[in-house]
Amino acid sequence: MHDLPTTTRPGHPMIWRRAGMMAYGFLVYGLSVAVLAYTIGFVLDLVVPRSVSRGPVRPVTNAILGNLALLSLFGLQHSVMARPAFKRFLCRFVPPPVERSTYCLATCAALIGLFLFWSPIEGSLWTVTTPWLALALQVLALSGFGLLLVASFQLNHFELFGLLQPWRAIKGRELSPPEFKMPALYAHVRHPIYLGMLIGMWSTPNMTYGHLLFAGVASAYIVVGSTLEEMDLASSLGAPYVGYQRRVSRLVPVRSLLRRFSVDASASEKQPQ
């Protein structure tokens, strides 16, 4: 394996190895941020030159099959590389501190390929022409992606994007073993990042058929991906996470709202009439 000693002499090759891992982590993090920003523009059809609804048009059948292949490639990469068995396999070839960065790099490559080869599909399921309602939907979509970003920082944004791991290696410290945590947003839904993605994808004033294909397949992936992720979390975290699954809804904060309604109703009943 790629164990790192906690101390090295000045000029020791291990220093350069650690510096290389840190540089790799920074480069991948910068690329990830750029790709995430482009993804938001791609989905919302804002600013970027090609989007989910805008670009070279191909025959409908070819466009559907090609787009499905691109989405499947992303889904396979995103899920297979996230499994513990694949992580162990990958760490036979890359140092463990950059395993997450390598995962993020592969994700960026899959998304860039999707951006380059995506084919819009003409026609719309709905088009909102009322200006204030169209603006409200765009604001809601941006709020969804804002929720995604906030949720990433509540977990550990820099660990999620692979920057914390090489930094810890430079300091000669290993990452702490996984433990159950429930930050603010995660007390209401188990996957606020996925919830933000769903809001961002579906809150559009112009639901073209290409956008519909993207949002529909991505939503199905979210259900499958979150299921696989929770199987791994339940296996690694045990009873605390299983109990969390019972208390908190996966994507829609139904249980949280019901608890809040129940508490408010009880408080109202106890007030003197």
Q: What is the pLDDT of residues 132-171, one digit of tens each?
A: 999 999 999 999 999 999 999 998 888 899 888 888 887 7
- Least Cα distance to 83 among 225, 242, 237 occurs for 225
What are residue 54's DSSP bridge partners? 51
In the chain, beta strands by DSSP E: 124-127, 206-208
Cα 122 to chain centroid, rounded: 28
8 A C-beta contact, residue 117 and residue 70: yes
What residue type is 60 in one-letter code?
A: V
62: which residues sit within 8 A by CB, 6+ positions away?
119
DSSP codes of every residue in 99-125: HHHHHHHHHHHHHHHHHHH------EE
What are residue 126's DSSP bridge partners? 207
1: which residues sit within 8 A by CB, 6+ positions away?
91, 92, 96
Taking each helix axis as running N to C, give the angle between helix 60-80 and helix 209-237, from 0 to 180 degrees, rounded to the nearest 10.
10
Taking residue 187's Cβ as centre, other Cβ atoms within 10 Å add up to 14
Q: What are the φ/ψ torsions at residue 191 (nearest 5 degrees)?
A: -135, 70
Using pLDDT thresholds of 50, 70 and 90, give the confidence band for residue 236. Answer: confident
What are residue 208's DSSP bridge partners? 124
Residue 2 has pLDDT above 80, yes or no: no
**Residue 77 tokens, joined:** 């990469």
Per-residue pLDDT tens over the stretch 47-89: 999 999 999 999 999 999 999 999 999 999 989 998 989 999 9
Residue 267 has pLDDT above 50, yes or no: no
Per the listing, tokens 């490639």 go with 73
Residue 242 has pLDDT above 50, yes or no: yes
Rounded CA gap, 65 and 232, in Å?
Answer: 31
- Least Cα distance to 53 among 196, 204, 197 occurs for 204
What residue type is 131 in one-letter code?
A: P
